[in-house]
Amino acid sequence: GSGATEAEKRQARKDLSRVERRLGKLAEQEAALHEQMAQVADDYGRLGELNTQLQAVLTEKEELELEWLEASEVLE
C-alpha cells in the first residue's frame, strides 16, 4: 500500500474519474481530427492547422496519462 489517508484516496478516485472523462473526450477529438485530416489531405494549409490542433490534444493526453498514473499509485 501507499500509506495514503482515506481523504487522499477519495481525492485520487475523484482525480481518476475526472482524468478518465477528459481522456475520453480527447480520444474523440483525436479521432475527429484524424478524420478531418484525411478529408483535406491535399490542402496543406488546413492540414497544418489540424496537425497543430492534434499535437495540442496529444500533449494534453500525455499530461493526463501521467496524472492518471500518479492518482492510481495513491490507490495501490
pLDDT at position 65 is: 98
Report the predicted TM-score, pTM, of the whole model to 2 decimal places: 0.86
| 1 is a domain residue | no
| 61-65 long-range contacts, CB within 8 A, separation 24+ | 61/23, 61/26, 61/27, 61/30, 64/19, 64/22, 64/23, 64/26, 65/23
pLDDT at position 10 is: 97
pLDDT at position 2 is: 60
Please give the average pLDDT of every successive group of 10 residues along the chain, which has 76 residues.
87 98 98 98 97 99 98 95
Chain centre distance of CA 62 = 6
pLDDT at position 54 is: 99
| 49 is a domain residue | yes
Q: Domain range for residue 11?
A: 6-75
pLDDT at position 3 is: 86
Domains contained in the chain, number: 1
Element (H, E) at 76: none
